Structures are given as structure tokens and as C-alpha cells.
Amino acid sequence: MTVAPAPAAAVEPAPIDQAGELRSARIESLRAVAALGVLVGHAFIIALAYRGTSTGLRNQLISGGLLTVFLFFTLSGYLLYWPFARRDFGGGGRIDLTRYARNRALRILPLYYAVVAVLLALDPLGAHRADWWRYALFIEDYSARTVERLDSPMWSLGVEMQFYILLPLIAAGIARLARGSLARAMAIVVALGAASFALRLERVLIGPSPVLSPLDGPFALPTLLYFFCTGMLVALLRQAVRDREGERLPRALEWSDPWLLAAVGLWALAAAHPSWEPLIAAASFLAVGTCVLAPRRGVLLRILDWRGLAAVGVASYSLYLWHVPLLLALSGTEIRFSDTRPPVDLTAPQSFAGLLALALPVCLAAALLSYRLIEAPFLRLRRGWVGPRSSSRYRER
């Protein structure tokens, strides 16, 4: 008789230690890819003194490294919504929202405030010291005096903080409307993402010159929520796969390399065509979804399981916040800022390869030192915020 093939066995992701907690190495490696992509993009535009960085496919692809910042949003959507998805649709444990808030504060605030304090004291990089309170409250994205000043990558932290605060309410709303149905929950998340993208399309991508509004501006959570929704959808798909444990997935979904290569291709298209921003969301969805769901490990997943890359991911938050001030210092860049006009780089263009070769080891060393001295002591104070029924061999959050 014919024996049905056994379901493909899921490959358990390798763990890596983060301040005493075991994390998924491949998820941390995705953080590393995102942070390194942003570093390379910034090194390129700083080396070229912001001139001609989008001229020609080569320049577009290199400066397109900045687009990997959106991968952080998809990762946050998946990692933080997953416990809520388990609770609401998989019989997972109770969630302690007080500990959730405490953990988020310990993860984000110490390093962020340390970087803000150091830069305001030593080199504000176009910011006004009198505006310290805007940075303290994470509202620097909504004033021309502060947006992308001091440390330009900080713009994404304000968006992340809003998502952290609103996620328990969003999750509760999804659970109430879905009434225990995973399919209905997925439809709600897709609809929420579609509404967010429609708002961004109208107000930011094709609309008139956008204003720095917290409701519909280019750095507002409502116009960027669709990136987080891609990660939330991965969390729901993971629960759906768990519900069908023992059943074989379609063969097209078993192998990881084609999906990761597709993610890279979509990112390249978005880099070459900035108006094709939705492709970044699709690429981030494929990258995170493949790392979480693919039952067979291909060559690219083996790379993401490499502990050296994952170690960079563990320190990726420090790398993300320190790299621009270090790049500006190493390159000797001088920028003239104005509250009414775009900033002007007064420095002559220089070698991108030379700057990157100098900056990469310096930035990595600074990030690892910053992680050890600033991040890790506070991360060790975190406590689990999910009940025992959702416990696992290691935490991803």
C-alpha cells in the first residue's frame, strides 16, 4: 500500500542569550540585518554628502538600505502580538499588562535617554537644547525644530512607543470582534492594515506635501500601522499552523530560501522605485514569516541562525541609535540646519567604501559596549509577562 509522506518537521530555531534570556537567533539576526541595512544606507548618503544618492540603480540599492528600518516594525508587530494571539485564539496564558509595560520601558527608555542626554550635552546635531522635553516625551516627530534632528533614526522610536501603548487595546478589539475565530481575526488585521495604508497613500505618498501630524503625518502611527499589521498577521498564521500540527503544509510553503529570496527581490524593487512602498511591507512579511513558519531550513536560514550575526542583533538597538552620530564624527561632516528649509551638507563627497570600512568596526564595537554597559543591566530586571501556559524554551520578545 502507499504510505503518505510524513509532515515536514519544523526546525527549531537556535537560541542566543540576551541578558540572561534565550532568544531566537534567526529573529535577532533579522534585527541585525535591519540595523546594518540602515547603517549602510546612512554611510552612503553621508559619504556622498547627500548628492546623487538616488541617481542610478546602484545608488538606489545602496541608499535603499534605509528601508530596512520598516523590518523593525514588522518584527515588533509579530513579537509583541504573538502572546496576545496565543491568549485569545490558542488557550495561552494570562497576560500581565503591568509587567508588559514595565518590560517595554526597561527595553526602550534607558538607552534612548542615555543617547539623548549625551548628544544634547556634546553635539545636538541641529537640535535645540530647549526642546529636550520633546525628546523626553517621544514627540520629536511632530515639530520641524526636532524631527530627524539630534539623531535622525530616533524618529522610529516615537512610532514604536505608540504601538506599544496601543497594542493591548488593539488586541482586545481584535479578540472581541473575532469571537474566537482565527480566520476572522486575520481578516480584521488585514482590514486594519489596508485602512492604514489607504491613509498613508492619501496623506503621504500621493497627497499634498504632508504635515507633521501625529494622526496622519509621515511619522504617525496611523499611517505606518500597516507595517506592524504584517507582523501581527504572522503571529496569527503561527497560531493557525499550531492548530493544524501534524498536518502537512503545501510543499510550496515548506522551503525557506525561495521566500527569503523573494523578500530580497521585493526590497530591491522598492529601493529602485520609492513610490512602491507597499513592497517593503510585503518583503518584511515574507522575511519574518519565513523565519517563523518555514519547517525546513535552507541556506539562508542557516545564515540567519549564525550566532555571530545574531550577536549583532542582540546589540542592534545600540547600533541603531549610535551609528549616525559616529558616522558624522568619523566623516567630519558639517551640516547647516534651518527651521524653515531642509538641512544642507557643507562637506565635500568622499569615499563610501573608505567610510564604511572605518565606520563598521567602530560602530559595532560601540554598539556591543553600549549594550553591555547600558542595555544589559536593565534588561536583566525584566520579568515574564505571559502566564505559564504560553511558556516556551526561550523567549522571543
Element (H, E) at 336: strand 335-336
Grid cell locating 161: 512607543
Task: Select from 391, 393, 396, 390 the least CA-distant residue to 90.
Answer: 390
CA 245 – CA 279 distance, rounded (Å): 31
HSE value, Cβ hemisphere, 13 Å, CA-based, for 74:
28
> For residue 2, what pLDDT is reported?
40
User: Which residues, including other chains, have CB under 8 Å from residue 158's CB and lie 6 or more apart?
Assistant: 138, 139, 140, 141, 219
Q: Let me know if 381 is exposed, middle or buried by CB neighbors in 10 A (0-12, 13-18, 19+).
A: exposed
pLDDT beneath 70: ranges in the chain: 1-13, 245-253, 295, 388-397
HSE value, Cβ hemisphere, 13 Å, CA-based, for 375:
24
Element (H, E) at 24: strand 21-24
List phi, psi (to 5°) of 350.
-140, 180
CA 198 – CA 363 distance, rounded (Å): 37
CB 185 within 8 A of CB 178: yes
Cα angle: 341, vertex 343, 348; to 5 degrees: 140
Instruction: Give me the residues paired with residue 16 across strands.
Output: 23
> For residue 397, what pLDDT is reported?
52
What DSSP designation does 335 have? E
Element (H, E) at 115: helix 97-122
CB atoms near residue 336 (< 10 Å): 10
Domain spans of the chain, in order of start: 25-247+255-383
CB 225 within 8 A of CB 193: yes
Rg (CA), the chain: 21
Q: Dihedral, CA atoms, 239, 89, 161, 383, nearest 10 degrees?
A: -90
CB atoms near residue 133 (< 10 Å): 9
> For residue 387, what pLDDT is reported?
73
CB 321 within 8 A of CB 112: yes
Task: Select from 118, 219, 246, 231 the least CA-distant residue to 171.
Answer: 231
CB 78 within 8 A of CB 232: yes
What DSSP designation does 158 have? H
Place of cell 520579568: 383
> For residue 5, what pLDDT is reported?
46
Buried b (16+ CB within 10 A) or exposed e, 250-272: eeebbbbbebbeebeebbbebbe
pTM score, whole prediction: 0.92
Interstrand relation of 15-18 and 335-336 (parallel, antiparallel or unpaired): unpaired
3-state secondary structure of 208: coil
CA 137 – CA 187 distance, rounded (Å): 34
